[in-house]
Amino acid sequence: MNAVAASLAPEAPRTAVVLLGTGVVGRALLTLLGTPAAGSLRLVGAANSRRQHVFADGLRPADVPDALAKARDGRDNAPLLAALDATGAGRKVVIDATACTKEATRHAEWLERGYHVVTANKALAGGHLQGWRALQAASAGGAVYGDAATVGAGLPVLSTLRRLRRCGDSLLTLEGVFSGSLSWLFNQYDGSRPFSALLGDARRLGFTEPDPRSDLSGEDVARKLLIIARHAGFALGSDEVEVESLVPEPLRDLDTKAFLERLGELDEPLARRHAEAKAKGKVLRYLARLNQRGRARVGLVEVGPDHPASRLSGTDNQFALTTTRYHSTPLVIQGPGAGPEITAQALLGDVLAL
């Protein structure tokens, strides 16, 4: 019997959870919810974009895909929240493992109603400034916003920044590689295989967003930059980040399926950029930068062998934080920054920290 199954008991659990999103990250989380580490949690509902299943006495995580496959079409969050209420649990948690903007816009409302929210979905915190402000106001009521998975797939970036700020330190500048998929792509890309073929691999490995244009357009990196900058006190609007998109103009407005059929059109422009960089003894890296005046830019940069980002491997992210106290040398946080297992662990970690 797995850990969550063992907690399928009539008495009120300490923590009850519902899971939105059973894709790459959601499925990895279901696996973790079946381990002893999650023994104190009761999963009472799960949903994908089309269906949901609710069971107030607790769902075995392994049974969720089957339960959703058998459920009728239809989505409504009210029964999921009602299932949380019905448990009488001390901590009621909505876990958002979707990339859905509509769900993200509800985060503040859930917090206001007393549900803790643990999210991998960056669309609210990294979207319009108004949404960020709504989140801050809603969190003041006591419900917790677990956001570790939104930056660096759980690397201790936001927690470190919060800790520094509590001590009176402040962020001066920020630079690094904030995308696991773009890091993996440019760490691998040497011109021998088409960029589009590598992108196909990155999708299969679960590193990209559901629509990889969110990565290639710089949108996902810009969101992470905004989340960090806002945590550091920069009230940056989403239109204040200069973003270089790697998606050729004719591919920008296609639906996802049509875009995926034309991935080959990415190859020529990137092969050219790669050859130009190589001729100068440099490599390409997709960098995010925030300067002391709050000027923010994300885009493709040629970096020489002396640049720290030139030495990254795999899906490594790198966050170099220069602060009033980490001044002569930045505080650098580096490690894998994408992948279902580590992202799911970041979600579980935030739930267990409540």
Ligand X SMILES: NC(=O)C1=CN([C@@H]2O[C@H](COP(=O)(O)OP(=O)(O)OC[C@H]3O[C@@H](n4cnc5c(N)ncnc54)[C@H](O)[C@@H]3O)[C@@H](O)[C@H]2O)C=CC1
Q: List binding-site positions for NADPH.
A: 98, 122
Residue 28 C-beta: closest distance to ligand X, Å: 8
Helix axis angle, 129-139 to 219-231, nearest 10°: 40
Site for ligand X, residues 75 to 104, rule: CB under 6 A: 75, 97-100, 102-103
69 DSSP 8-state letter: H
CA–CA gap between residue 73 and residue 71 (Å, rounded)? 7
Cβ contact 142:90 at 8 Å: no
CA–CA gap between residue 352 and residue 354 (Å, rounded)? 5
CA–CA gap between residue 112 and residue 334 (Å, rounded)? 34
Query: What is the x/- site pattern for ligand X, positions 143-182, by CB under 6 A?
Result: ------x---x--------------------------x--
Nearer to ligand X, 210 or 314 (CB): 210
Counting contacts by CB under 6 A, is residue 336 touching ligand X? no
Helix axis angle, 180-188 to 195-204, nearest 10°: 140
**Residues annotated as binding site?**
21-26, 98, 122, 209
Residue 148 C-beta: closest distance to ligand LTNE7NMQ, Å: 11
Counting contacts by CB under 6 A, is residue 220 touching ligand LTNE7NMQ? yes
Q: Is 90 helix (H, G, I), strand (E, B) or coil?
A: coil
For this structure, is 224 an active site residue? yes
61 contact, one of ligand LTNE7NMQ, ligand X, none, CB 5-8 Å limit per kind: none
98 contact, one of ligand LTNE7NMQ, ligand X, none, CB 5-8 Å limit per kind: ligand X
Cβ contact 270:246 at 8 Å: yes
Residue 137 C-beta: closest distance to ligand LTNE7NMQ, Å: 25
Counting contacts by CB under 6 A, is residue 301 touching ligand X? no
Catalytic residue among 224, 257, 280, 282: 224
Residue 191 C-beta: closest distance to ligand LTNE7NMQ, Å: 22
Dihedral in degrees, nearest 10, Cα atoms 29, 31, 36, 39: 60
Sheet containing 296-303: give its strands across. 241-243, 296-303, 283-290, 171-177, 316-323, 331-336
DSSP labels, 268-314: HHHHHHHHHHHHTT-EEEEEEEE-TT--EEEEEEEE-TTSGGGG--T
CA–CA gap between residue 6 and residue 13 (Å, rounded)? 12
Residue 204 C-beta: closest distance to ligand X, Å: 12
215 contact, one of ligand X, ligand LTNE7NMQ, none, CB 5-8 Å limit per kind: ligand LTNE7NMQ
- 287: phi then psi, degrees, rounded to nearest 5: -105, 150
Q: Is 35 helix (H, G, I), strand (E, B) or coil?
A: coil
Counting contacts by CB under 6 A, is residue 334 touching ligand X? no
Structure tokens at 150: 């939104």
CA–CA gap between residue 351 and residue 354 (Å, rounded)? 6
Counting contacts by CB under 6 A, is residue 179 touching ligand LTNE7NMQ? yes
With CB under 6 A, what is the number of residues at the site for ligand X? Answer: 31
Q: Which stretch binds ligand LTNE7NMQ (CB under 6 A): 27-35, 49-57, 205-213, 258-266?
A: 205-213
CA–CA gap between residue 134 and residue 131 (Å, rounded)? 5
Residue 228 C-beta: closest distance to ligand X, Å: 14
Q: Which residues bind ligand X (CB under 6 A)?
A: 20-26, 47-49, 75, 97-100, 102-103, 120-122, 149, 153, 180, 206-207, 209-210, 338-340, 343
Q: Which residues bind ligand LTNE7NMQ (CB under 6 A)?
A: 153, 179-181, 207-209, 215, 220, 337-338
Write out the catalytic residue numbers: 224
